[in-house]
Structure 1
Amino acid sequence: MNNANWLITDNGSRWKHNTAFENWLSFKADDSEFWKRLYVGYYKLIDHKFYVNGMKLINRELEKQKKFGGGRALPASNQYLTRDMVYSLHRFGAMFDEYFMFKFYQLNAIGRETFICDKYRFEYYRTLNKAENRIIFDNKGKTFELFGKFYKRDFLAVESENDFKTFAAFIAKHPTFVIKPLDSSGGRGVRKVTLNKENEVSDFFSKEFKKGCFAVEEIIQQAPEMAILHPASINTVRVCTIICKSGIKIFAPFLRVGRGGAIIDNAFAGGLGVTVAPDTGILCSYAQSESGEVFRYHPDTGVPFVGFQLPDWDNAIALSKKLAVIVQSNRCIGWDLAYTSDGWIMVEGNCRGQFVVQQYPDGIGKKKELLEYIADI
């Protein structure tokens, strides 16, 4: 089957056969298990290979959820959940982990429709951002070239073996540093490293460059006001800006907090997400992990989440808006910010960031708000 009428993600995965018949069938499936079975069967028929691979992913997700639940029973039978997850993927664009993070098994079609699900994320970003600008944010070296003055720390992109001398000079100045793949996201591959001996530097460089291009950064010195939450990690705020006709809007900011001594705060490493009130910078939800754990207090430090005031919030917003206008043809960017003794600094920017943590800590879908901003661009 060719890709005519299919919605396709940026990585080439087709997920919705966007025809009048499919849409009619999907709406019928909203209120009827009979029609839902037919809807799932439709996808099994028209793209059997995709369906079979999807079953493997669903089974893996169900096993993961059983593990997350400590052996507790799933919210419904495997048969029902499998059917409902396939339906939710093609009807709402929900990834299989999102199905559980957004608690779709508790919601009807109206409730599910309020969430921004991952597959539709690509459609929204194609409207909001220019594809040719993607390299600016996907490559950390390119990001630094444009936004380096807002980092307020030393940074080096290593893209060639000829960069060794510069790398050695960087290590001489910062023997303890952070390393990350040049094109990674979600905190994957981020490590804190210390090199004290000259021969270590050469061996380390050779070993790392064989894996691919990478970046090294000076360690961010987090201010006590944020370190109190979890000192081992840099606890960052994601502030998403959307450039509209009526001005720059702040969309669904959230805080990420590490735990268990981890140096990063990302969800895949066990980090916690917390909703931030955009007008005040006050945390307004309990913290939640990707696996569905909910915390009123930080599990390591005991700091309560609800009511915690992020420091100097007005300047966090001001910095985000200043960053937003540098590449104005990218109307929607998620800015990761850290708070230091010098105030808020930029960690990185995201032009295709997921909308997951914006929604699961408080359990409120943000699609209506996003579509209102898109209508104003």
Structure 2
Amino acid sequence: MNVKAIIQYLGKCCREISELANGKGEEVSYWFDYLWCAARYGCLVRQYVYGEFYRQSSIDRKESMTYRRFIKVFKKLNRSDYVHLLENKRDFNIHFASYVKREWMYMPETDFNTFCEFADRHGFVIVKPLNLCEGQGVHGLQLPKDEDKRKKVYEELSGKNIMVEQCIKQHKDMNMGGRSVNTIRMHTILDKDGNVHCFKPVFRAGVGDAVVDNYCAGGCCYEVDLELGVLITPSLSKDHIKHKIHPGTDKIVYGYQIPNWDKVIIDITKAAKMLPQCRFIGWDIAITDDGIELIEGNHNPDYELIEFFGTRGWYAKTKKWI
């Protein structure tokens, strides 16, 4: 980390610890405690403040999946020469084709005739940049019917490293009143004996007119009970309000049932075995009327979804599988 980055991070620490202290005269004690947690456990300031690490006992802190421990886990379990099958959306769709039922095009490899045939079948599509993450740059696009206008759109898209995909029709019970396809983030670890362990499933729901459901894009996240498939926590969200009713709706969170939950567990267990070289994956899963549709897999999924809310202590819980 260079000097500029260090200064920026310290400025972020000052703002967030000051917010935590909230004028109660405890800022100095929080600073000393945070510096100890950063050195001893590898805790970043966001986890200390918003993940409520400051509230945890020393035993809980030893068991928590901090950023430093998280990096250690995914670097140990995921072979770098196979990570592209998760990072690259084109490679992912090809490798996991049995669980990717939507039609898609990788624009640098798509000719104009193929583009027109696709546009005839799917007027409104989703555009996904391959070099961005956390939902950045993802947007909906209405493909024109006029050939000249199509040509112009094609020329613009084909010059970029992007995917164009058919819209997924999600199960009606996955809709939370917005425009996004809402997904399940399921974490899996494949142990040395080839057994798949699913843990800390999270329902991610978009808010308002957002096209994506990502937490970083303003969506809300709720922990799902692994056995029952029902929501069991208020939200984790960027506004730091623990919503018990999904924003902008009248949908109560607690006990909300995710449809086709048995198929989620069965199919994601099979998918995890399709890439044994990457043993730790965070899967993004759409729920359809027929079962599941894989959106993507992450070799370094957002550790905030694992440890900032709901059940915690996942470093200790997963060590026996590693």
> TM-score of the superposition, structure 2-length normalised?
0.89
Deviation at 1:184, TM superposition (A): 2.5
Q: Deviations over 1:188-209 (max 9, x none)?
A: 1111111224344333344445
- 1:184 equivalent to 2:132? Answer yes
Secondary structure of 1:336 counterpart: strand
**Offset, 1:344:** 1.5
**Matched AA of 2:185:** R
Q: Are 1:217 and 2:169 an aligned pair? A: no
Aligned to 1:110: 59
Kindly tell me: are residues 335 and 53 of structure 1, through their superposed partners in 2, closer, same or farther at Cα, counting changes over 3 Å? closer
Contact persistence 1:65–1:74 (CA under 8 A)? no
Is the Cα contact below 8 Å between 1:121 and 1:354 reproduced in 2?
Answer: no
Q: Secondary structure at the match of 1:156?
A: strand
Aligned with 2:306: secondary structure? coil
1:355 positional shift: 2.1
Match of 1:90 in 2: 39
The one-letter code of the counterpart of 1:124 is V
1:349 pairs with 2:297: yes
Q: Offset at 1:84?
A: 4.4
Cα distance 1:174–1:59, how it changes in 2: closer, same or farther (>3 A)? same
SS at match of 1:280: coil
Q: Is 1:279 aligned to 2:227, yes or no?
A: yes
Alignment of 1:120-131 (within 5 A): 120-131=69-80
Alignment of 1:41-52 (within 5 A): 49-50=2-3
Q: Does 1:151 align with 2:136?
A: no
1:282-293 superposed matches below 5 A: 282-293=230-241
Is 2:285 the partner of 1:333? no
- 1:63-105 CA-partner distances (Å, limit 9, x unpaired): 47889x9xx9267655555554444333322233222221123
Query: Quick one: distance in 2 between partners of 1:128 and 1:335?
Result: 15
- 2:117 corresponding residue in structure 1: 169
In the other structure, the counterpart of 1:236 is 183
Amino acid at match of 2:103: D
After superposition, the Cα gap between the structure-2 partners of 1:62 and 1:248, relative to the gap in structure 1 and judged at 3 Å, is: same
Deviation at 1:145, TM superposition (A): 1.0
The aligned length equals 320
Distance, in Å, in 2 between the alignment partners of 1:61 and 1:208 is 41
Secondary structure in 1 matching 2:304: coil
Question: Aligned residues: percent identity?
Answer: 25
1:297 aligns with one of 220, 240, 245 = 245
Structure 1 residue 169 displacement after superposition: 3.3
1: distance between equivalents of 2:261 and 2:233?
17
- Equivalent residue of 1:349, what SS? strand
> Do the aligned partners of residues 74 and 276 (structure 1) sit closer, same or farther apart at CA in structure 2, a change above 3 Å counting?
farther
Aligned AA (1:90): A
Counterpart CA distance in 1 for 2:139 and 2:280 is 28
Q: Show the counterpart of 1:35.
A: none
1:53 partner amino acid: A
Q: TM-score, normalised by structure 1?
A: 0.77
Pair member with larger Rg = 1
User: Over aligned residue pairs, what C-alpha RMSD do you find?
Assistant: 2.6
Match of 1:43 in 2: none
Pair 1:103–1:172, CA change in 2 (3 A): same
